Amino acid sequence: MTITLEDLVGDTEVFFRDHWAAQPAVFRSRADLTGLITEEEMWAEVDCGLLIRPYFTSFDEGVRTAISEMTKPRTIVGHSVPGYINPEQIKRDFAAGGTFKFSQPEHWHPRLRALVRSLEPEFRAELESFVFLSPPGKTAIAAHMDGSHVLVLQVAGVKDWVVGRLDETSTSDSDRYAGGVIPYDRRMEVTLRPGDVLYMPHGTPHSATARIGNSIHIAVTIEEPSTKDLANVFLAELLGHPEYEALTEEHHKLSLAERLARLRTLVAETLAAADADQVLKQAVRLKAEHRG
The whole-number pLDDT of residue 149 equals 94
Q: Are residues 121 and 174 in the same domain?
A: yes
Report pLDDT for 291: 61
Mean pLDDT, rounded, for 2-22: 96
Q: Is residue 261 part of a domain?
A: yes
pLDDT value, residue 158: 97
Mean pLDDT of 254-271: 88
Average pLDDT, the chain: 89
- Mark whether 14 and 123 lie in a shared domain: yes
Q: What is the pLDDT of residue 272?
A: 84
| Residue 212: strand pairing partners | 158
Question: Do 33 and 176 reside in the same domain of the chain?
Answer: yes
Domain identity same for 243 and 195? no
- Boundary residue ending a domain (223, 238, 264): 223
The pLDDT confidence band at residue 290, using thresholds 50, 70 and 90, is: low
Higher pLDDT, residue 258 or 91: 91
Say whether pLDDT at 288 is over 70.
no
Residues 137 and 268 in one domain: no
CA–CA separation, 74 and 87 (whole Å): 13
122 shares its domain with 208 = yes
Q: 234 and 117, same structural domain?
A: no
The secondary structure of the chain as a DSSP string is: -PPPHHHHHS-HHHHHHHTTTT--EEEE-SS--TTS--HHHHHHHHHH---BTTSEEEEETTEEPPHHHHEEEEEETTEEEEEEE-HHHHHHHHHTT-EEEEESGGGT-HHHHHHHHHHGGG-SSEEEEEEEEE-TT-BSS-SB--SSEEEEEEEEEEEEEEEEPP-TT-----SBPTTSS--GGGEEEEEE-TTEEEEE-TT--EEEEEEEEEEEEEEEEEEPPPHHHHHHHHHHHHHT-HHHHHHHHHGGGS-HHHHHHHHHHHHHHHHHH--HHHHHHHHHHHHHHHH-
Could you read off the pLDDT of 83-93 as tens digits, one per residue?
999 999 999 99
Q: Is the pLDDT of residue 242 over 90?
A: no
Q: For residue 65, what are the contacts with CB-CB under 8 A and spacing of at least 6?
A: 57, 58, 59, 89, 93, 98
pLDDT above 90 for 74: yes
Predicted TM-score (pTM) of this structure: 0.84
Q: How far apart are CA 201 and CA 213, in angstroms?
A: 28
Q: What is the pLDDT of residue 234?
A: 80
CB 274 within 8 A of CB 259: no
Does residue 71 sit within a domain? no
For the stretch 164-207, pLDDT in tens is: 988 766 666 555 666 578 888 888 999 999 999 999 998 888 99
pLDDT, position 232: 83
Are 240 and 281 contained in the same domain? yes
> Under the phi-then-psi rule, with left for phi > 0, alpha for psi from -120 to 50, and beta for the rest, what region is 219?
beta
**Residues 45, 51 contacting (CB under 8 angstroms):** yes
Contact (CB, 8 A) for 264 and 244 = no
Does residue 9 fall inside a structural domain? yes
Paired strand residues for 207: 162
Give the C-alpha separation, 26 to 166, whole Å: 15
Last residue of a domain, one of 223, 258, 281: 223
What's the average model confidence in pLDDT over 38-58?
96
73-87, 113-127, 159-173: least confident range: 159-173
Q: What domain range includes position 169?
A: 5-40+96-223
Cis peptide before 121, with omega less than 30 degrees from 0?
A: no
Q: What is the pLDDT of residue 63?
A: 87
Count structural domains, the chain.
2
